[in-house]
Structure 1
């Protein structure tokens, strides 16, 4: 819990089928307060983590991002392609979405789950996502999806990314 702030997330769809890509993300705060985050409707998928990032959630990745803030690492379905990475910076004191970055790169799937590889260091994070897709290779497999390290740094109200 960043800055001692307890929180949870709820992914909600009004339709009976999440494949309608209409899930909304609700932030659950202490005292029962619920805040709908201004993230695009999508089919949000569970995310597993490999790396040294300090994860504060079970079914997604949420890392501390300053006093009372958390950076959410979300995966949205992009079928028939791999899921896409979305980042959301949230202030847990106010419940406000401070910044978001969508469709940053495809996340390869491991055991049918979106799986992020994240390295944390003094100046931010590095995450492995697909940077390039080879075409005309006569091979329709994951080998065509070339990953690279995407640098992620968080400001007071911003998320900055660039390729390493």
Structure 2
């Protein structure tokens, strides 16, 4: 399946359609995913939630420093970045393909809270789902300076926010 580039969240936003839904979705859920344990737990929880609600999942990945190659001066830096982003999308596909949910993968640049809010608005999402903060110094500083994704989404106040603890198991 090829990527399609759209402009919903700014220039050069990657959009990848998932499988056809087994049932016609009645709602949309937007999920923030960065490949780390808390967001992967939120992804798994969202799949079960989407199954119960007959909802379509919009997986949103914001390209950040974690995705970029180590050496920005490398001659093949752009190729390394493309490979890293393709690997991220493949990991999301691996997690989602075997599960009973229809989904779409969005990847883009910019502020994570703004991108999640825009995708939620675009698809009239029932809720935005994110994993709990990873913890550590960076997480603490993000909270103190008002940069945490959760705090920013709460401030936007357009779509309900569900924060899923890292070790939550959907039952």
Range into which the TM-score falls when normalised by the shorter chain: under 0.3
Structure scoring higher RCO (CA < 8 A, sep ≥ 6) equals: 2
Compare the two structures and name the one with the higher helix fraction. 2
Larger strand fraction of residues? 1
User: TM-score by structure 1 length?
Assistant: 0.25
